[in-house]
Structure 1
Amino acid sequence: MNQNQRFLSLDVFRGLTVAGMILVNTPGSWSHVYGPLLHAKWHGCTPTDLVFPFFLFAVGNAMSFAMKKFDQLSNAQVLGKILKRTALIFIIGLLLNLFPFVKYDGDGNMVMKSLDTLRIFGVLQRIALCYGIGALLIHYLKPKGAFIATCVLLLGYWAILYFLGGSDPYSLEGHIGLQVDRAILGEKHMYHGEGIAFDPEGLLSTIPAIGNVVFGFLVGRFVQQNRHSRNMLMKLVLAGTIMVAVALLWNTVFPINKKIWTSSYVLYTVGIATLLLSIFIWLIELKGLRAGTYFFEVFGKNPLFIYVMSGVIVKLYFLFRIGPENENLYGWLYGHVFQPAFGDYPGSLLFGLFHVLILWLLGWWMDRRKIYIRV
């Protein structure tokens, strides 16, 4: 099996995830979003809640191929590469939070953004930390040790929340991670989308999220070692099913929850990701059905860059004002183009799909010119 075939399922899985991230992040109006494209209000899991952990799973899966090169390097060189990549992704996330570096004040004047209120964490920052810590665990403890360490982290996170979280440890106010982030980051540097200063990509909840990367690595390694045989596929389906079953059982005492990234949520999302990847392997590698895969493959070849560009485009929309009411370009496009033509909910969905297509065209242009930006 050649290199391209071996990577195709992963590229399609990763590309589907990136397309999903763009779609759920850019509805025409947050007041008109179909239920499956919204996050669960608190406990529970919607299709949208699968997107981010799937991306972390794909990061781990890709690591199972990339980390083979580490065997030829010294420990110091490996440490340097891991820390450099971690820092670079984290800094890009910080810059994306700060972009476009200016904003409108209450009087409509454009002023520089202040570092005093810069949100420190975010999606890219979590990807960076989970990659970095996951890679260190895998390299220095080896796969078996990394698996054991991840299990300890998941159980330890449960214990921390249960014993230190007060009378309602899995609630917004009772989550100990809230106090940790407030003490270390400060409220001004946290996300405020929940009505209070609360960061869904905060410090403490990053601990279990490492599991999505490590398990993704282990699945990718297992696939490589066993090739794309039917026996391998059956074992993969069994593993995914067991993880989902264990997660649902654990959910009875430790609720599945994305916003505090519970350990049951890790197992649940890893299980579903494993099952979905199994389907892709069966269809693409074993059945040879490759029609339509190129659309997602494009996203999978430049995933981080395309995700960053999706954020850049949205932020620029809010920077530019248009029309007699001085409306931002994002709201103007939905209110004057998509909503009048298609209605509230369909228009909002098509607005998101339009941006998926725009970013696909960017990825297609890069692929045609063999431009692949690796961070």
Structure 2
Amino acid sequence: MNLNRPGRFLSLDVFRGMTIAMMILVNNPGSWRYVFAPLDHAKWFGCTPTDLVFPFFLFAVGNAMSFSMKKYEALGQAAVLWKIFRRTALIFLISYAIHFYPFFRYDAVTHSWSHKFHLDHIRIMGVLQRIALAYCAAALLIHYLGLRRALLIGILILPAYWGLLMWLGDPGAQLTLEGNAVLKLDRFLFGPDHLYHGEGVPFDPEGVLSTLPAVSSVIFGYRAGVFIQQKGKSYECVAGLFLAGTLMLALALCWNPLFPIAKKLWTSSFVLYTTGLALYVIAVLIWLLEIRAWNPGNWSRFFTVFGKNPLFIYILADVVVLSYFAIPMTPGRNMYGWLYTVVFQPLFGNWMGSLAFAVFHVLLFWLVGLWLDRKKIYIRV
């Protein structure tokens, strides 16, 4: 894979890799009791650096799709639909496989094994499910309607979603944890046993209804990718991205008092805010890497290693960490807790030890990505 061939943007590979590295960092602290505020999600309203990771990833999905879609469309409609539905189905299947992993558990008291295939409490939605659905919907809209109409739909989704939350939520409590329409629809469709339980009540931050504006995140990423290809590695491209990013940030901040920025509801102001910031980051990377060619020590290589196998490395990180929880080390302590309390906490203390644990895993999976890159192995889902 030649990153310097004509038409390829190193900056976009770096953006994608930065997103994956940040995903691993924020998902794997040594202890959730000791997480620095920027590396944790906002409690409800607001946006931390951690809250940018998922929308940046969806933006990157759309961005990458703008480069690959033309290749598949040249093969005919059947090839496009096969690609879209195959990828969607694979991501869904992988997400459920991860849910059940490691498939069997050992009971140290009874010295017996039992399977983990209990469908009565499986979480239906989730991060990978949202990626699959948002990708599928955006790809179909762009394929059948063209970019201009798909972009218009992506824009119209934002006020429509606001209206749905106001109309279907509890009067006066439409944007609260227990009164929002996202929760109501998921509870109706799946029941409380199939929702995420980490918020104190059954509520899924990747719910069905809140996946609707996530589709807009992918479409906006696609439009940005097309713009970058049209303008090339130029100051005009950088200026256009900054202008669009500034407009989106201004709209988000103006909308915020009425429809607050909130990742867990994926509010429309959150879509505009995170898209605006993504445009800023890409503009800076294009200016640094494509125009100024500023790459001392080949620093970009660290991130492109992640960016070449993004979804695979993210899934691998999930699987490895879940394996830690399945490996008993001492009575009442699994390998995850053992690594933190025996290795990182004594060396660095509570807070820095928790961060060091996360950084260690970023470096661990970077080494995996580096090995794959050197072997020219690029795993596409």
Q: TM-score, normalization: structure 1?
A: 0.97
Give the match's secondary structure for 1:111.
Answer: strand
Offset at residue 107 of structure 1 (A): 5.4
In the alignment, residue 43 of structure 1 is paired with which amino acid? F
* CA 1:86–1:320: 2 relative to 1, 3 Å: same
Pairwise CA distance, 1:326: 3.8
TM superposition shift of 1:103? 3.6
Shift of 1:104: 5.7
Q: CA deviation at 1:3?
A: 3.4
C-alpha deviation, 1:136, in angstroms: 0.7
Among 319, 332, 335, the residue aligned to 1:329: 335
Cα distance change on mapping 1:262 and 1:105 into 2, 3 Å:
farther
Residue 341 (str. 1) matches residue 347 (str. 2): yes
Residue of structure 2 equivalent to 1:258? 263
Whether 2:119 is the aligned partner of 1:111: answer no
1:91 aligns with 2:93: yes
- What's 2:56 paired with? 54
Paired with 1:20 and 1:372, the residues of 2 have a C-alpha distance of: 20
Superposition pairs for residues 15-94 of structure 1, below 5 Å?
Answer: 15-94=17-96
Say which SS state the counterpart of residue 204 (structure 1) adopts.
coil
RMSD: 1.5
Question: What is the aligned residue count?
Answer: 374
Contact 2:4 2:10 in 1 (8 A): no
Counterparts of residues 1-375 of structure 1 (less than 5 Å): 3=5, 6-103=8-105, 110-113=113-116, 114-166=118-170, 167-290=172-295, 291-323=298-330, 325-375=331-381
How far residue 295 of structure 1 moved from its aligned partner, in angstroms, is 0.3
Q: CA deviation at 1:117?
A: 1.3
Unaligned runs of 5+ in 2: none
**Conservation of the 8 A alpha-carbon contact between 1:117 and 1:188:** yes
For each residue in 1:188-222, what CA deviation from the matched residue of structure 2 results, as whole angstroms up to 9, or x when unmatched?
A: 22111111111111101000001111000000100
The amino acid that maps onto 2:342 is H
Deviation at 1:106, TM superposition (A): 10
Q: Name the amino acid aligned to 1:215.
A: F
Residue-by-residue CA offset, 1:67-124 (whole Å, 9 max, x unaligned)? 0113313333322221111111111111111111124669576421112211122111
| Mean CA deviation greater in 60-69 or 115-124 | 115-124
Report the identity percentage. Answer: 56
Structure 2 residue identity aligned to 1:77: A
Give the Cα separation in 1 of the matches to 2:148 and 2:96: 33
* Corresponding residue SS for 2:114: strand
Corresponding letter in the other structure for 1:342: F
Task: Determine the C-alpha separation between the residues in 1 that align with 2:320 and 2:59.
Answer: 26
Hey, what's the Cα distance between the residues in 1 that align with 2:189 and 2:62?
Answer: 28
Is the contact between residue 94 and residue 121 of structure 1 (CA under 8 Å) also seen in structure 2? no
Q: Which runs of 5+ in 1 are unaligned?
A: none
Q: In structure 1, the residue corresponding to 2:9 is in which secondary structure? A: helix
Q: Is the 8 A contact 2:161 2:268 kept in 1?
A: yes
Q: Distance in 2 between matches of 1:234 and 1:349?
A: 36
Give 3-state SS (helix, strand or coil) of 1:6's partner.
Answer: coil
Query: Which amino acid in 2 is paired with 1:133?
Result: A
Residues 73 and 79 in structure 2, CA contact (< 8 A), matched pair in contact too:
no
200-209 or 113-122, larger mean C-alpha shift: 113-122
Q: In 1, distance between residues paired with 2:338 and 2:318?
A: 18
Bigger mean CA deviation after superposition, 190-199 or 18-27 = 190-199
Q: Helix, strand or coil: the match of 1:44?
A: coil
Contact 2:84/2:136 (<8 A) preserved: yes
Of stretches 289-298 and 71-80 in structure 1, the one that deviates more from structure 2 is 71-80
The verdict on how the C-alpha distance between 1:4 and 1:47 changes in structure 2, with shifts beyond 3 A counting, is: farther
Distance 1:2 1:315 in 2: 37
- Please state whether the residue corresponding to 1:3 is helix, strand or coil: coil
